[in-house]
Homo-oligomer: A and B are copies of this chain.
Amino acid sequence: MAQNDAGPRPARLGLCAACHGEAGMGQAAGAPNLAGQREDYLRLALREYRDGRRAIPLMRAAIGPISEAELDQLAHWYSQQTPATAKDKP
């Protein structure tokens, strides 16, 4: 489990980790890597999924019950993860 400047493991991480991995490496074609992504971009994208401006029902459903503070915590967590490079990838 990744542990760095990301702070405590977010309580809701499991919702994201199924597709994006706990350390932010996408597990499938439709699930992008989030590790080391821009925190401001992640916060923006999460809200666009939640508000439907990004029409991805799965993301909207997953985010639905999550509070603003939790969204920011998840964005921070993933922005602080170290992306695996092409060489590290399985």
Contacts and interface: CB of A to CB of B under 8 A. Distances in A.
A85 to B, nearest CB: 5
A48 B36 CA distance: 23
A38 B44 contact: no
Question: How many copies are assembled?
Answer: 2
Q: Is the interface of A mostly helix, strand, loop or mixed?
A: loop
Residue picked from A36, A37, A84, most chain B C-beta under 10 Å: A36
B26 A85 contact: no
A17 interface: no
A9 B29 CA distance: 24
Contacts of A30: 41, 44
A4 B70 CA distance: 38
